[in-house]
Amino acid sequence: MASVPRTDSPHLILGGCTRPAMRTLEVLSPEDGGLLAEVGRAGPGDFEEAIRTAAACRRALAEEPAWRRKERLRALAEALRLRAAEAAEILAREAGKPLRYARGEVERAVTTLELSAEEAGRLDGRLQPLDGLPAGAGRLALERRVPRGLCAFITPFNFPLNLVCHKIGPAMAVGAPWILKPAEKTPLSALFLGELLQDCEPPAPEGAWSILPALPEDASALLRSEEVRVLSFTGSARVGWKLRREAAAPTVILELGGSGATILAEDWPLEDALDRCARAAFAYSGQVCISLQRLLVPETLREPVLAGLAERAASLRRGPVLDEATEIGPLIREPEAQRVCAWIEEAVARGARLHAGGGRDGAFVEPAVLERVPHDLPLWREEVFGPVVVVETWRDFDEALELAGEGPWGLQAGLLTRDWERIRRAWSRLECGQILAGDTCMFRVDSMPYGGTKRSGLGREGVRDAVRALTEARTLILPG
């Protein structure tokens, strides 16, 4: 196995320094449930200390010149690039992610850090003459962006490296101190990144950052402390909205889930649509918040779509996550696989038709294709977070838009059509953060604005948008 970050004697990274841990967390393999590693588990006192040390260096970080922040981020990106193979193996093992997808995540993480480095040199403000009113004659308002302050980041298991970079990269770019609590199921890649950051030049001011694996109950100080100015969470809606209610932080950013819908129209080439939709539904066993869960097709295309998706689902290669040929792997834990299969069985009992998959072997779920799922069931209304796609037919495009907008979610929607009028209508009517014209709902590049509406979240990420979210305006009025 690739070197697991310092698990011979469990440690924490607190204030940028490695220290022994009094307690441990077990990291289990999604493939077989076996023990991968034991890492340090932070306690409430560790979080309180991390908050104190980070708050103490807030001014030093904010006054650091942009070129130092830029060079630090570039150094971290290059260090990760040079050890990409190790990072990918750690990701594959801890998250159950097939190696081909793990490599892609490492490449994206490098890009996210590079984009953050670029943004470090772009923090700007504006100049506004105030002579539009008599009292402002001769005066100027000069605005600059400054970091809001200490950031608390909580990240999920499904992209445990790149989503960490989406949090810490913008914070490092703007000069904000930060504390990261990675997902307790997948802390190894975050610790690996932290050890790379410890060796980067120029070093960050002492105390400026911490990576603290922990259980949720250990990290309550991140919610209570008024020193924490930004809380940014990516994960489940149930947890995210609860954190928002409890957080003392004045700025809360939530990147939550969805039940991703894509509308397929008659003008899109069918084979290309089937290839795209199969990837969007089954990549990383559907454990992606923008996975394709609901595919809306014209009635005339129902039979070829169901047959084509079923064929593609059955052809996906299952195997060890480190095997180059493996296309489909396990869910993160067996109870999640049991839940997904229970939802499928519930739908079939209510009259849904299963065209492919749905079986289970431990944490592995066979990629499933269904139709006629009742709309009051979780398989339609909730985020399945498993390898399942539900096909529904429509007679006219307005009906397709109604189906796509059903339910409490509003993250992304896809439109497989070249009809500009239909694209315009969807952009106007669908309540979601992003609408993808000419693709499925599962598309993201790390520079784009990204976030949801309704139950799917609050605020926007993507490197440039995150940089703005982590800063605020400070204005100087110059005398006349």
Residue 292 burial (CB count, 10 A): 27
Structure letter (DSSP) for residue 459: S
Alpha-carbon distance 254 to 459, whole Å? 7
The two most distant CA atoms of the chain are separated, in Å, by 76
Q: In b/e form, how buried is each residue of 389-400, taking b as 16+ CB within 10 angstroms?
A: bbbbbbeebeeb
Which tokens belong to 188? 């190894």
- 410 forms bridges with which residues in the sheet? 453
Both structure tokens of 88: 């990918």
- Is 324 one of the annotated active-site residues of the chain? no
Spatial neighbors of 472 by CB under 8 A, at least 6 apart, are 145, 146, 148
3-state SS, 285-349, equals HHCCCCCCCEEEEEHHHHHHHHHHHHHHHHHCCECCCCCCCCCECCCCCHHHHHHHHHHHHHHHH
* Cα–chain center distance at 270: 30
Q: Among candidates 144, 163, 141, which has minimal Cα distance to 62? A: 144
State the distance between the two ends of the chain, measured CA to CA, in whole angstroms. 67
360 burial via Cβ count (<10 Å: 0-12, 13-18, 19+): middle
What is the identity of the amino acid at 153? F
289 annotated active-site: yes
**Residue 3 carries which DSSP code?**
P
Which amino acid is residue 152, in one-letter code? A
Q: What are phi and psi of 263, to 5 degrees?
A: -100, 125
Which position among 57, 165, 289, 432 bears the catalytic label? 289
Cα separation, 212 vs 193, in Å, equals 13
- Which residue of the set 255, 383, 392, 461 is catalytic? 255
Smallest CA-to-CA distance from 356 within 415, 416, 314, 390 is with: 314
Evaluated on CA atoms 87, 91, 92, 97, the torsion sign reads negative
* Residues catalogued as catalytic: 255, 289
